[in-house]
Each structure stands twice: as C-alpha cells, then as structure tokens.
C-alpha cells in the first residue's frame, strides 16, 4: 500500500509538471527558449512543451508592427536655429534571437539612435529646408535606422516627423511672413480681377462700336437702295407719262390725217397754237404769211359780232 501511494503521488507530480510546462504561443507572438542558460529555440504560435527545470522562457515578444512615439528632441539647424522635433517610429521584430540577445534595451537603443540621427540630419539643413523637407528627412532617417537595427533583429518600416516646433520668435516671424504672403496674393488676385474686368468692358465697348457702325452702314445702304428705287419708280412714271402724251399726240395726228382737214382748219389750229404760245405774255408775235390773211379775217368777224351785240 505505501508503495502504491508513493507511486500515485509521483505520477500526479509528473502529470502536474507536464501540465505546468505546456505552453500555447498565441498568434503573432514568439518565445525565446533557453536550455541550461543557453539559447535553445524560438517558439512560434502553437502548442509547445518545455522540459521542467532545464528549459526556460527567456523572452516573449510580439512580431506585429509596433509604433513608438518618442518625446521631442532638441536640434540645431545649419543656420543656428534651435527647435524641438518629435518622431514616430514604426518597427517590426523579424528575428527573435537577435532581438533577445542583440541589445540590452532595444527601445531605448532605438530612441537614442533616432535622436542622434535626427540631430545629424537637421544640422546639415537650414530652417526653411527643415520645414519643407519632411519627406527627405523621413527617408534618410528610415534608411539609417533600418540598417543599424538589422543586428538587433528589428526592421524599421517608417519614420515620421510628428511635430517641428521652432522658437516663439521664429513662429511669430513665420506668421507675419505668411500673413504678408496672403495679403500679397490677395492684392495680386484683386489686380488680376480688375484687369480682366477692364478688358471685358473694353471688349464690350469695342463690340458695341463695331455693331453700331455695322448697323449705321446697313441703314445707309438701305436708305440708298430705297432712294434709288424711288428715283427709278419716278423716272419710270415720267417716262410712262411722256410715252402716253406721245401716244396721244400720235393718235391725234393719225386722226387728223384720217379726216384730211382743209387748209383753213389747219390754219385755224395753227393760230390757236400761236395764241397758246403767247399766253398773253408775249409783246410781239411773228405770224407766218400763210395764216396772216386768216388772222385778219378772224379779227373782222370778231368785230362784226361785237357790233351786233
């Protein structure tokens, strides 16, 4: 009986030790295992059992990308301007063994390396270049840090300058400069607007003048056409009237010729024609000899008719 009890106790102890040394490594984690004080293996995610009293979990780490925000670091630019710059580093553990044994405190080492690298880079740039070259500074710092941290099992993916804080007097000067620049741009835009407005007004006046001239030209052409048409119609009317008079005269002559008038009738008509020609205004009328006798006869007849009355 005592042997069975002791055996049961030993079995329970062994099972308890086995259960106590079972480890389940979560996803995106790695464990560094030492055996008798020496690096033995790196456990990745999954089920693992370590040997009691021989194996020891030396270090547990997360292999996902991590972010560390370092406090502002004092730096001096090439033109002796002192400012504060804080950085953000995105890194990832790629080798658990190097991370565990490469450096005593990896984050402290990265912080100091970031500060010294930042001071070296900013020391080569003046204030304006520092404020406008963030991408260049980020790229140079990432390349330097990534190369230096390879021996620590760390890969630096990105480095970002979070804030650049110049001295108060520099900030005031920058604000004044920005205000002056905005006012200058506003004045330029206003001048451009006034210029464009004046150009548009001038163009409008030019087009209006051209249109007025064209309208006056068309009106003059229309008036000339109307006057020409009126003159043509008047001339045609006069010509038609003359033609009608001529036709009436020709018709009268034909009628006279048709009736074969006597010489006496012709003489009387001639006398009437001379009377109309004189119209009471002529002081002297020359009467052809062929109708003088007829004129005397007409005068005598007239006197006789007056006496009888």
Question: How many structural domains comprise the chain?
Answer: 2
Q: Report DSSP letters for the chain, one per residue.
A: -HHHHHHHHHHHHHHHHHHHTEEEEPTTEEEEEEETTEEEEEE-SEEEE--TTTEEEEEEEE-S-EEEEPPPEEEE-TTS-EEEEEEEEEEEE--HHHHHHS-S-HHHHHHHHHHHHHHHHHTTS-HHHHHH-HHHHHHHHHHHHHHHHGGGTEEEEEEEEEEEE--HHHHHHHHHHHHHHHHHHHHHHHHHHHHHHHHHHHHHHHHHHHHHHHHHHHHHHHHHHHHHHHHHHHHHHHHHHHHHHHHHHHHHHHHHHHH---HHHHHHHHHHHHHHHHTTT-S-----GGGHHHHHHHHHHHHHHHHH-
Q: Looking at residue 284, what is its pLDDT?
A: 55
For the ranges 7-11, 86-90, 228-232, the maximum mean pLDDT occurs at 86-90
The reply to whether 50 and 124 lie within a common domain is no
Instruction: Output the domain CATH number for residue 147.
Output: 3.30.479.30
Q: Looking at residue 289, what is its pLDDT?
A: 56
Q: Is residue 28 part of a domain?
A: yes
The reply to whether 102 and 34 lie within a common domain is no
The reply to whether 44 and 86 lie within a common domain is no
CA distance 104 to 111: 13
Q: Is residue 284 part of a domain?
A: no
The reply to whether 137 and 97 lie within a common domain is yes
The reply to whether 109 and 140 lie within a common domain is yes
Q: Looking at residue 275, what is its pLDDT?
A: 59
The 10s digit of each residue's pLDDT in 191-208 is 988 888 889 988 888 888
Residue 269 scores a pLDDT above 80: no
The reply to whether 47 and 112 lie within a common domain is no
Q: Looking at residue 237, what is its pLDDT?
A: 81
For the ranges 143-157, 174-188, 263-277, the maximum mean pLDDT occurs at 143-157
The reply to whether 105 and 39 lie within a common domain is no
CA distance 187 to 192: 8
The reply to whether 53 and 82 lie within a common domain is no
Q: Is residue 193 part of a domain?
A: no
Q: Is residue 130 part of a domain?
A: yes
Q: Is residue 279 part of a domain?
A: no
The reply to whether 34 and 96 lie within a common domain is no
Residue 222 scores a pLDDT above 80: yes
The reply to whether 98 and 25 lie within a common domain is no
Residue 89 scores a pLDDT above 90: yes
Last residue of a domain, one of 47, 62, 77: 62
Q: Is residue 225 part of a domain?
A: no
The 10s digit of each residue's pLDDT in 274-303 is 555 555 555 555 555 555 554 454 454 445
Q: Looking at residue 113, what is its pLDDT?
A: 92
The reply to whether 70 and 101 lie within a common domain is yes
The 10s digit of each residue's pLDDT in 1-17 is 666 777 778 878 878 87
Last residue of a domain, one of 62, 87, 109: 62
| Host domain of residue 11 | 2-62
- pTM of the model as a whole: 0.55
Q: Looking at residue 155, what is its pLDDT?
A: 93
Q: Residue 145's pLDDT band (boundaries 50, 70, 90)?
A: very high
For the ranges 90-94, 190-194, 255-259, the maximum mean pLDDT occurs at 90-94
CA distance 246 to 234: 18
Q: Is residue 293 part of a domain?
A: no
Give mean pLDDT, residues 100-111: 89
Q: Looking at residue 302, what is its pLDDT?
A: 47
Q: Residue 270's pLDDT band (boundaries 50, 70, 90)?
A: low
Residue 229 scores a pLDDT above 70: yes
Number of residues written out for the chain: 309
The reply to whether 146 and 84 lie within a common domain is yes
CA distance 28 to 145: 23
Token pair 């009436």 is found at 248
Q: Is residue 85 part of a domain?
A: yes
Last residue of a domain, one of 166, 190, 213: 166
Whose CA is closest to 127, among 178, 187, 82? 82
């Amino acid at each position: 009986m005592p042997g069975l009890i002791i055996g049961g106790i030993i079995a329970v102890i062994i099972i308890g030790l086995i259960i106590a040394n079972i480890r389940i490594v979560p996803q995106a984690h790695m464990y560094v295992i030492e055996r008798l004080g020496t690096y033995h293996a790196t456990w990745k995610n999954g089920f693992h059992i370590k040997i009691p009293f021989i194996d020891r979990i030396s270090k547990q780490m997360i292999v996902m990308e991590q972010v560390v925000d370092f406090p502002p670091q004092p730096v001096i630019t090439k033109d002796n301007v002192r400012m504060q710059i804080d950085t953000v580093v995105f890194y990832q553990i790629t080798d658990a063994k190097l991370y565990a044994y490469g450096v005593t405190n990896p984050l402290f080492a990265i912080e100091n390396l970031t500060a010294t690298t930042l001071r070296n880079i900013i020391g080569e740039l003046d204030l304006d270049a520092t404020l406008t070259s963030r991408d260049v500074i980020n790229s140079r710092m990432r390349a330097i840090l990534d190369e230096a941290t390879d021996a620590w099992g760390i890969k630096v993916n990105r480095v970002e300058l979070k804030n650049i804080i110049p001295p108060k007097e520099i900030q005031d000067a920058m604000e004044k400069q920005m205000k002056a620049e905005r006012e200058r741009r506003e004045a330029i835009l206003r001048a451009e607007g006034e210029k464009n407005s004046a150009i548009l007004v001038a163009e409008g006046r030019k087009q209006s003048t051209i249109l007025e001239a064209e309208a006056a030209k068309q009106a003059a052409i229309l008036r000339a056409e109307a006057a020409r048409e009126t003159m043509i119609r008047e001339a045609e009317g006069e010509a038609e009237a003359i033609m009608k008079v001529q036709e009436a005269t020709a018709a009268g002559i034909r009628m006279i010729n048709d009736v074969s008038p006597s010489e006496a009738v012709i003489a009387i008509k001639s006398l009437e024609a001379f009377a109309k020609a004189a119209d009471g205004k002529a002081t002297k009328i020359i009467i052809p000899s062929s109708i003088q006798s007829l004129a005397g006869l007409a005068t005598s007849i007239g006197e006789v008719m007056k006496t009888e009355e």
